[in-house]
Copies of this chain bind each other. A is one copy, B any other.
Amino acid sequence: MKWSSGKNTVGEVGEDQLLSLISTHAQTHSELAIPIGDDAACLTVGDSSLVVTVDAQLEGQHFHREWLSPRQLGYRAFRVSASDVSAMGCLPKWALMSLQIPPDLNVQSFEEIMAGFQQACADASTVLVGGNLAKTNQIGLHITVIGQSTSSPLSRADASDGDYLWVTGSLGSAAAGRLLLELPKLPDNSLPLIEKWQCPPARWDLCGRLCSEGIATAAMDISDGLYTDASRMARASSLSIEIDLDHLPIHPLTPRAADYLKTTLYELVVRGGEDYEVLFAGPETLPDWAMATGVRRIGRFKPGDGLVTLKYRGSEFRSGDIPTGWDPFEGTP
- Assess whether A67 is interfacial by the CB under 8 Å rule: yes
Chain A, range 40-56, C-beta contacts under 8 Å to B = 40-41, 43, 45-48, 50, 52-56
Q: Which residues of B contact A67 (CB under 8 A)?
A: 1
Output the nearest chain B residue to A18 by Cβ-Cβ distance.
Answer: B133
Output the nearest chain B residue to A74 by Cβ-Cβ distance.
Answer: B25
Cβ contact within 8 Å between A25 and B103: no
Q: Interface size on A (CB < 8 Å)?
A: 88
Cβ contact within 8 Å between A36 and B129: yes
- Assess whether A68 is interfacial by the CB under 8 Å rule: yes
Of A135-143, A239-247, A316-324, the one contacting chain B is A135-143
A79 to B142, CA, bound (A): 19
Binding site for B on A (CB under 8 A): 1-6, 8-11, 13, 15, 18-19, 21-22, 25-27, 29, 31-32, 36, 40-41, 43, 45-48, 50, 52-56, 58, 60-62, 65-72, 94, 96-98, 100-112, 114-115, 117-118, 121-122, 127-138, 140, 142, 144, 146, 148
Chain A binding surface, main DSSP class: mixed
Question: Least Cβ distance of A300 to chain B in Å?
Answer: 30
Q: Which residues of B contact A11 (CB under 8 A)?
A: 102-105, 135
Residue of B41, B65, B110 near A129 (CB, 8 A) is: B41
Known: A9-B103, A53-B96, A96-B144. 7 other contacts (CB 8 A): A4-B107, A10-B101, A10-B104, A11-B104, A13-B107, A21-B107, A26-B131
Cβ contact within 8 Å between A108 and B4: yes
Cβ contact within 8 Å between B136 and A98: no
Q: Which residues of B contact A13 (CB under 8 A)?
A: 107
Cβ contact within 8 Å between B134 and A61: yes
A130 to B94, CA, bound (A): 16
Q: Which residues of B contact A46 (CB under 8 A)?
A: 45-48
Cβ contact within 8 Å between A65 and B101: no
Q: List 19 A-B contacts (CB under 8 A).
A: A3-B70, A6-B106, A9-B103, A10-B135, A15-B133, A18-B107, A25-B115, A32-B127, A41-B96, A41-B129, A52-B130, A54-B132, A58-B100, A58-B135, A60-B136, A61-B134, A98-B142, A136-B140, A142-B142
Question: Least Cβ distance of A112 to chain B in Å?
Answer: 8
Cβ contact within 8 Å between B103 and A1: no
A180 to B298, CA, bound (A): 62
Q: Which residues of B contact A71 (CB under 8 A)?
A: 2
Question: Least Cβ distance of A195 to chain B in Å?
Answer: 13
Cβ contact within 8 Å between B26 and A129: yes
Cβ contact within 8 Å between B18 and A118: no
